[in-house]
Structure 1
């Protein structure tokens, strides 16, 4: 039996994904709006979902909307933003009790779908504009969200690595936009952008739970209608020539932040993506990895040392916190771990342990409705249809030779180091 029972249908300009499962006592509705990352749009998109969730035509204030959610047996509504490859994604997430498990026969799923449609398609307006006061409040909050990245030096150093590494590529843009662009947005210009997004974004709606597919499709047909949205998923921009780049920045920080970016030349849609996952696990992804055991434990050079993969852009990022005087030593030992991977200097036990950890992680992820949606949404971004079972099997079948072959493709792009003022490394 397949782990995930997903069916796809086209309904009124959106892609409807129904995932039937008896695992949860709730139904989960997730709507994703995708558009290419563009400098002129990114800050508008970062602001838009927060304004939309402030109210609808029927529930024109935050309080009345939240009270309505409470009447739906405490349904929850969240919005968030993400960046996958060269795409910017707005998500609306709602979780609502499944009426099958209640003595009351209120049609909760229908009401949830209807409410989400209203949030998206019938926002509170003031003529041909959003409400000035709401937009002003959300602009202040967005500025705080952007500023918080600059205040958290771990997140800031990762942002700076990406900005340096992906100069002139859309991926360099931050998911929350640019603080200087927030001020130029007006209630009217945001509404104009909203109309553009509603008519051109790629829209995917996920409904997960113990459900009747035809019933769900009927509700979606009744409440949702988009124009024939033509947006295509943006494919990752490849950097043609890679020259190792070193960037050292000084700020008032106590602990140095060393971030290193590599181009893996492999993304989620590629056949060797499974090998990339295993490679990352052995190199720096887990507590048994080379970075953790050699940089942090044996050499005691780092407070933390780990790596992660950006699946749709094909980047591998190393993050570590070090004393400034250990900079050269840390860079050298990280380079040595990469060289060891390229030479196949890892054991069969490490290979098998990494496979087991990845498998467990994946199974844990699909044990939550939101995690399950994120897993299946990878296929939309990659424009492939890879069933989850095939993913597990692909991980299981990776050989040591596959990992070495993948490692040989990995190229160092940028070393970014954030250090304290006037401290020599």
Structure 2
């Protein structure tokens, strides 16, 4: 069976991905702008994501924009930023009810939504080559609050600090939402200049997901009419092209003192295995066995058996070949926790896991993918991964590849995995 029916249309300056499915009673549009991470622009890009979602030329206030969304039967419109490897993705997305399921709804509901999304991109609240000053000031305040919230959330803060230290000479160190101390340097004029650059140069992909089988041609005509991106130099987006493996010479240890009640111990490992690598799927299974699921070695041994951690898990950053361990511990348990986390990797290297462990991990991985296909955002993320990696992999391919991973493949991944950085956020009394 085919889990996803994706049809890609290459228009002048951008691509449209149509995904007809009867799973949803809404139609969701994800407009993705992709550019390499750039130190001088990362904060501007973050602020721009806030400004573009808050108003348009014909809806110059948040209230005006919300009223238009309400008139579209409660449509929603927002933005988000993500960092995937060395790429910075700005997404504008809109969800609108499928007019087929609304009694008396105008047949132009989706058309109006396409127009509004286009207006947000091509007709923002700007004049004389600058964004509205009041809007920029307000959204600076909103972004600053988000950045402060990351500092206040010590689990997120510790994760960010680990990457700061581990990847300090790599683009991946750059923060997705920029830097608070750079915000005041961004002016309405400089932000508008960056906006024009983004619209002119970024690689653009529009995903439309919903029960659209019957009126695809109509939707495509509407999109082609409303979205007029200029032709641009097509970049080959393949994370493998610029990937430079990093082999740690020694483990970097960073300890930071703050007024916290619980220690945050994060360990960064290098696998140097990314999309396209023959061991990529084995890396997924390895991470699941090591710390990705409740039956994993980290959870069972560090948290349950030894009671050394309030939480202990790992995640695999497959655009960069990193595995990140996150744990919350008592300050005094630092040495014990580091030692036992290291022991779990050695155990996997020695093949100290059962066929049942492998089967359970595979089942959970496959179930996670199937669940992702039932959510428009996760489904788009799965499909967009193919764009970024240059790897056209279907859901069926992915599921089959996971099933075909062998024990020796998992051991090979473990043997290629080396500890790079240890970051420990401890209390003021810590040493």
**TM-score normalised to structure 1 length:** 0.97
Q: Which residue of 1 aligns with 2:248?
A: 242
Q: Which residue of 2 aligns with 1:21?
A: 21
Partner deviation per Cα, 1:330-359 (whole Å, 9 max, x = no partner): 011000000111111100000000111111
How far does residue 369 in structure 1 lie from its aligned partner after superposition?
1.2
Q: Which residue of 2 aligns with 1:30?
A: 30
Structure 1: distance between partners of 2:28 and 2:325: 34
How far does residue 106 in structure 1 lie from its aligned partner after superposition?
2.6
How far does residue 281 in structure 1 lie from its aligned partner after superposition?
0.5
Q: Does 1:214 align with 2:222?
A: no
Q: Does 1:179 align with 2:185?
A: no
Q: Which residue of 2 aligns with 1:86?
A: 86
Q: CA RMSD in A?
A: 1.3
Q: Which residue of 1 aligns with 2:110?
A: 109
Q: In structure 2, the residue corresponding to 1:39 is in which secondary structure?
A: coil
How far does residue 58 in structure 1 lie from its aligned partner after superposition?
2.1
Contact persistence 1:12–1:224 (CA under 8 A)? no
Q: Does 1:386 align with 2:393?
A: yes
Q: Which residue of 2 aligns with 1:155?
A: 156
Q: Which residue of 2 aligns with 1:316?
A: 323
Which piece of structure 1 moves more, 311-320 or 237-246? 237-246
Q: Which residue of 1 aligns with 2:227?
A: 224
Which piece of structure 1 moves more, 217-226 or 95-104? 95-104
How far does residue 12 in structure 1 lie from its aligned partner after superposition?
2.6
Q: Which residue of 2 aligns with 1:348?
A: 355
Q: In structure 2, the residue corresponding to 1:35 is in which secondary structure?
A: strand
Structure 2: distance between partners of 1:107 and 1:71: 12
Q: Which residue of 2 aligns with 1:272?
A: 279
How far does residue 292 in structure 1 lie from its aligned partner after superposition?
0.3
Contact persistence 2:247–2:270 (CA under 8 A)? no
Contact persistence 1:263–1:411 (CA under 8 A)? yes
Structure 2: distance between partners of 1:74 and 1:106: 16
Structure 2: distance between partners of 1:361 and 1:3: 14
Q: Which residue of 2 aligns with 1:297?
A: 304
How far does residue 271 in structure 1 lie from its aligned partner after superposition?
2.8
Partner deviation per Cα, 1:252-274 (whole Å, 9 max, x = no partner): 11111100001111112323211
Structure 2: distance between partners of 1:103 and 1:78: 26
Which piece of structure 1 moves more, 283-292 or 413-422? 413-422
How far does residue 409 in structure 1 lie from its aligned partner after superposition?
1.1
* CA spacing shift, 1:155–1:80, aligned 2, 3 Å: same
Structure 2: distance between partners of 1:148 and 1:325: 27
How far does residue 157 in structure 1 lie from its aligned partner after superposition?
0.8
Structure 2: distance between partners of 1:395 and 1:188: 49
Which piece of structure 1 moves more, 234-243 or 301-310? 234-243
Q: In structure 2, the residue corresponding to 1:331 is in which secondary structure?
A: helix
Which piece of structure 1 moves more, 341-350 or 232-241? 232-241
How far does residue 231 in structure 1 lie from its aligned partner after superposition?
6.0
Q: Which residue of 1 aligns with 2:8?
A: 8
How far does residue 234 in structure 1 lie from its aligned partner after superposition?
6.8
Q: In structure 2, the residue corresponding to 1:302 is in which secondary structure?
A: coil
Q: In structure 2, the residue corresponding to 1:266 is in which secondary structure?
A: coil
Moved over 6 A (4+): none
Partner deviation per Cα, 1:71-119 (whole Å, 9 max, x = no partner): 1111111211100000111111111111222333432221111110110
Q: Which residue of 1 aligns with 2:379?
A: 372
